Amino acid sequence: MSFDAFIGNKLAIGILKKALETRRIASAYLFHGPDGVGKSLAARNFAKALVCENEGSDSCDVCSSCRRVDSDNHPDVHWYKPVGKMRLVKMASIQELITQTGLKPFESKWKLFVLLEADRMRAESQNAVLKTLEEPPGQTVLILVSSNAAGLLPTIVSRCQEICFLPIPREEMERTIEEKWGLGAEEARLVASLASGSLGSAKRLLDRENLSRRKLLLTLLSDISHRSFREVEDTLRAMDEELGEMAKALRGKEEKRLKAQGKTMTAEERDEQMDEVNANVESIVRQEVEDILNQLAFWYRDLLIVKENASAELVTNLDMMESLRSSAAEMTVHGILSRLGAVEEARRAIGLNLSLTSCLEVFFLRGGEAAVKPS
Ligand SMILES: [Zn+2]
pTM of the model: 0.87
Confidence bin at 369 (pLDDT 50/70/90): low
CA–centroid distance, 139 to ligand 1, in Å, is 18
Task: Output the CA 65–ligand 1 centroid distance in Å.
Answer: 6
Measured in angstroms, how far is the CA atom of residue 362 from the centroid of ligand 1? 52
Taking residues 71-98, report their average pLDDT. 93
Which of 31-45, 133-147, 214-228, 261-275 has the lowest average pLDDT?
A: 261-275
Q: What residues contact 159, with CB distance under 8 A and at least 6 apart?
A: 28, 130, 133, 134
Question: 46 C-alpha vs ligand 1 centroid, how far in Å?
Answer: 11
Determine the distance from the C-alpha atom of residue 230 to the mean position of all C-alpha atoms in its chain, rounded to a whole number: 34
**pLDDT over 90 at 347, yes or no:** no
Distance 66 CA to ligand 1 centre (A): 4
Q: Residue 368, Cβ neighbours under 10 Å: how many?
A: 18
Mean pLDDT of all residues in 63-67: 96
List the single range of 11-25, 158-172, 227-241 with lowest mean pLDDT.
227-241
Q: Which residue has the higher pLDDT, 37 or 362?
A: 37
Can you give the pLDDT at residue 59? 95
Which amino acid, residue 288? E
pLDDT of 374 above 80: no
Q: What is the pLDDT at residue 292?
A: 87
Cα 140 to ligand 1 centroid, rounded to whole Å: 19
Alpha carbon of 255 to ligand 1 centroid (Å) = 33
CA of residue 314 to ligand 1 center, whole Å = 43
Ligand 1 centroid–CA 45 distance in Å is 10
With a cut of 90, say whether residue 359 has pLDDT above it: no
For residue 202, what pLDDT is reported?
94
| Total Cβ atoms within 10 A of residue 369 | 11
**What is the predicted pLDDT for the residue at 261?**
74
Q: What is the rounded CA–CA span in Å between residue 77 and residue 100? A: 11
pLDDT tens figures, 111-126: 999 999 999 999 999 9
Calculate how far, in angstroms, residue 234's C-alpha sits from the geometric centre of ligand 1. Answer: 54
The arithmetic mean of pLDDT across residues 94-110, rounded, is 93
Q: What CA–CA distance (Å, rounded) separates 336 from 369? A: 10
What φ, ψ does residue 223 adopt, rounded to 5°?
-130, 45
CB atoms within 10 A of CB 352: 9
**CA 240 – CA 106 distance, rounded (Å):** 49
CA distance 369 to 326: 20
Please give the distance, rounded to the nearest whole angstrom, from the Cα atom of residue 69 to the centre of ligand 1.
9
Cα of 5 vs centre of ligand 1, distance in Å, is 15
In angstroms, the CA 273 to CA 260 distance is 14
Q: Indicate if the pLDDT at residue 371 is higher than 90.
A: no
Confidence of residue 349 (pLDDT cuts 50, 70, 90): confident
- The answer to whether the CB of 235 falls within 8 A of the CB of 218 is no
Centroid of ligand 1 to alpha carbon of 105 (angstroms): 17
Categorize the per-residue pLDDT at 346 as very low, low, confident or very high, splitting at 50, 70 and 90.
confident
Decide if pLDDT at 29 tops 90: yes
Specify the range with the lowest mean pLDDT, choosing from 92-96, 153-157, 166-170, 242-246: 242-246
Phi, psi of 97 (to 5 degrees): -60, -45
More confident residue, 19 or 357: 19
Ligand 1 centroid, distance to 49 Cα (angstroms):
7
Mean pLDDT of the chain: 89
Q: Would you state the pLDDT for residue 370?
A: 54
Output the pLDDT for position 224.
82
- The shares of helix, strand and coil residues in the chain, as percent rounded to the nearest 5, are 65, 5, 30
Predicted confidence band of residue 367 (pLDDT cuts 50, 70, 90): low
Q: Stretch 84-95: mean pLDDT, rounded? A: 90
From the list 28, 294, 259, the residue with the least C-alpha distance to 162 is 28
Distance 33 CA to ligand 1 centre (A): 27
Q: List the beta bridge partners of residue 200.
A: none
Confidence of residue 375 (pLDDT cuts 50, 70, 90): low
Mean of the pLDDT values across residues 130-140? 87
Q: How far is the CA of 243 from the centre of ligand 1 (A)?
A: 41
What is the 15 CA–ligand 1 centroid distance (Å)?
Answer: 20
Residue 352 in this model has a pLDDT that exceeds 80: no
178 Cα–ligand 1 center, Å: 30
The band of 315, judged by pLDDT with boundaries at 50, 70 and 90, is very high
**Secondary structure of residue 143 in the 3-state scheme:** strand
